[in-house]
Structure 1
Amino acid sequence: MPISSDRLICRPPEPSDVNRLFEIYSDPQTQLFNPAGPMKSLGQAQALLTGWVEHWNEYGFGWWAIAEDASPEQVIGFGGVGLYDFLGDRRLNLGYRFASDAWGKGYATEMGRVALENTFARPGINRVWAVVRPDHAASIKVLEKLGMQRCGLLDDVPGQKQSLLFSIER
């Protein structure tokens, strides 16, 4: 079921999103702060998308395909809240990735607000986390605008600075 905000439509991902997912995730610009770098194959995109669809099927929420309200057929990014492995500890994690031409328009913050509201409306969910690379100033700013607070470090990338952990409670 799609969810709308002021400017965005957020809907569960569909198999037909795989090519757009690959376009966004294979772009070196969108992966600048991802230690794994750009996605290298359509197969990787398919595996990621399959995981998101399975998450939706099992839990009834997860990462969305995101489009502008004015152009609902054109996916501009992916994001939401889903279970994420924090080095062996599965937690609800807020994440997002937008095409570079959608940057600087406040879409990550807008989607984040909707995702947090939707997640906290579910019984028993009281906390959501986010992981961000320490040099990713734009994402840090988004998380802070959402009311998330730094709460620790995660040594998730061997040989590099630790990632920053943020969280927010209901």
Structure 2
Amino acid sequence: MTVIETPRLLLRELTDADHEALFQMYQDRRMNRFIGGPPPPREAYWQKVRETWPAYYARHGFGLWATVRKEDRRLLGRCGLLSQQVDGERHVEVGYALAPEFWGRSYATEAARASRDHAFRTLDVPHVISLILPDNAGSIRVAEKNGMTLWKTAEFRGHLPRVYRITRAEWEKAVEGTGREASTSRMRRIRGEPWNKGSRHPRMG
């Protein structure tokens, strides 16, 4: 099911074929070094993704999505939204990781911006964040192009990532500047909604 469409990309729920392709992508050190290391052995990997993602989509109404190039339906990686607990508070993160062969073409920025917009248009959140390791210069550039600025450093699952953030007010100002109207319909409340109940995902975006 396609969740978001941009000029060049489709973002949709992950399938078994996507997970197999991502398993191969995650072997690349250039990619996995910033998202928690290489995947577990194949059997454990498959058990985890099959247990995680159908339930995650059902629980939260969002997740990491397959990021597909429209012109040839090529899977580039994954991008989307995650419910993360940082410093004792729950936040919605824009997470993204594309295979290195697709770096430098602004695909990650296009997908991240679309995911950010989707969050603000469908969730009643005061801000969205991205958790990025300090030496991940490429992802930092994407976050900055996504309108985010450095908020703080946090302890997160044994790491000290930088937390980049854009507030709703900052997003609305940027949206108004492009002549687009921010929709506030069908928003899900922060408190009491399933996404705020605390499921975890093992990989940093």
Number of aligned residue pairs: 166
Higher strand share: 1
Amino acid at match of 2:165: S
Judged with a 3 Å threshold, the aligned counterparts in structure 2 of structure 1 residues 80 and 152 are, in CA distance, closer, same or farther, namely same
The aligned counterpart of 2:150 is: 150
Between 149-158 and 61-70, the greater mean CA deviation after superposition: 149-158
Q: CA deviation at 1:46?
A: 4.4
Q: Is 1:18 matched up with 2:26? A: no
8 Å contact 1:21–1:45 — kept in the other structure? no
The aligned counterpart of 2:164 is: 166
Q: CA deviation at 1:80?
A: 0.6
Judged with a 3 Å threshold, the aligned counterparts in structure 2 of structure 1 residues 132 and 49 are, in CA distance, closer, same or farther, namely farther
In angstroms, what is the RMSD of aligned CA positions?
Answer: 1.9
The aligned counterpart of 1:131 is: 131
User: TM-score, structure 2 length as denominator?
Assistant: 0.73
Q: Is 1:51 matched up with 2:18? A: no
In structure 2, the residue corresponding to 1:65 is in which secondary structure? Answer: strand
Q: Distance in 1 between matches of 2:100 and 2:106?
A: 12
The aligned counterpart of 1:104 is: 104
Q: Is 1:76 matched up with 2:51? A: no
Q: Deviations over 1:92-134 (max 9, x none)?
A: 1111111111111101100011101111111422311111011
User: TM-score, structure 1 length as denominator?
Assistant: 0.87
Judged with a 3 Å threshold, the aligned counterparts in structure 2 of structure 1 residues 137 and 127 are, in CA distance, closer, same or farther, namely same
8 Å contact 1:131–1:165 — kept in the other structure? yes
8 Å contact 1:22–1:45 — kept in the other structure? no
Q: Distance in 1 between matches of 2:67 and 2:156?
A: 27
Q: CA deviation at 1:165?
A: 0.6
Q: Is 1:8 matched up with 2:6? A: no
In structure 2, the residue corresponding to 1:30 is in which secondary structure? Answer: helix
Higher helix share: 2
The aligned counterpart of 2:61 is: 60
Judged with a 3 Å threshold, the aligned counterparts in structure 2 of structure 1 residues 102 and 61 are, in CA distance, closer, same or farther, namely same
Greater RCO structure (CA 8 Å; 6+ sep): 2
Q: Which runs of 5+ in 2 are unaligned?
A: 169-205
Q: Which runs of 5+ in 1 are unaligned?
A: none
Task: State, as a whole percentage, how many aligned pairs show the same letter.
Answer: 29
